[in-house]
Amino acid sequence: MEKFGLWIGFIGMTIGAVIFGIRAVSMRLNKGVGFAINSFFITLWAATIYLSMALGQTVIPKTLIPNLYDHPIYWGHYVDWIITTPLLLLDIGILAGVGPKLLAGIVGADIYMIITGAAATFTPSSLQWIWYILSTGAFTAILLQLLTVFSASARRRNSKIANLFTTLRNLLIVLWITYPIIWLIGVEGLKLIGSGLEVLLYVIVDFIAKVGFGLVLLKDTQVLEMATKKSASQ
């Protein structure tokens, strides 16, 4: 079931990359083309990582170190997330019109969240909960920034830009909350679900968080052009 889920992830992200690549070409004269290019690279990178996991190249099989892990470690997820989640926050930040220092701060917190999350996954003892708490702490800080400073900045912009920001912010928050929950109930945490179901859940959430997010983002190119112009003038 794990392989099936990973191949579905690869196919889904590849389709997304093709859609966003075509969209980027069609928007080449639009100042908001950067959003389409960003969505293309997010899904392209995710597709590449899913391919590597499906081929068994960014996975530690449980048979490799049987006395240490009782389940496979799909460490490719963290290689995916440490690249793609900052890019998603970049989209949100540009829409909100926040300054580079605030954007750098939230990206830094995001990278810290991913690294400590990986540490929790790789730690085969109760010490993993220390890393899990640190990771969720960083995640909480990100949520607070999105709900306060970023939202306040977005409200000062054009109403169409602010509405798009709010939609994407809410989508991102709901989806990102599911990641630590999946980890908690999965084979790394409380082991309430098997590895196959965990992989499939990650695929579903990943697809919506990347392809779904991109489709909503690129729906109105005029709004993206306005957002880009306003950010450049600030």
Confidence of residue 148 (pLDDT cuts 50, 70, 90): very high
pLDDT at position 216, please?
A: 97
pLDDT at position 68, please?
A: 63
CB within 8 Å of 2: residues ≥ 6 apart? 72, 74, 195, 196, 199
In the chain, % of residues over pLDDT 70: 95
Write down the pTM of the prediction.
0.93
pLDDT at position 230, please?
A: 60
Q: What is the pLDDT of residues 33-63, one digit of tens each?
A: 999 999 999 999 999 999 999 999 999 886 6
User: Where in the chain does DSSP place strands (E)?
Assistant: none
Q: Examine the pLDDT at 97 and tell me if it is beyond 80.
A: yes
Q: What is d(CA 55, CA 95) in angstroms, rounded to the nearest whole number? A: 37
Q: Examine the pLDDT at 75 and tell me if it is beyond 60.
A: yes
Confidence of residue 224 (pLDDT cuts 50, 70, 90): very high
Q: Tell me, what DSSP letter sits at residue 145?
A: H
Q: What is d(CA 146, CA 229) in angstroms, rounded to the nearest whole number? A: 22
Q: What is d(CA 190, CA 167) in angstroms, rounded to the nearest whole number? A: 32
Q: Tell me, what DSSP letter sits at residue 30?
A: S
Confidence of residue 234 (pLDDT cuts 50, 70, 90): low
Give the closest residue to 146 by CA, choosing from 173, 182, 108, 179: 173
- To 5 degrees, how large is the angle CA 62–CA 65–CA 70? 40
Q: What is the dihedral of CA 12, 225, 109, 122, to 10 degrees?
A: 10
Confidence of residue 67 (pLDDT cuts 50, 70, 90): low
pLDDT at position 1, please?
A: 77
Average pLDDT value over all residues in the chain = 93
Domains, the chain, in order of start with CATH, read 1-59+69-224 (1.20.1070.10)
Residue 212: phi, psi to the nearest 5? -60, -45
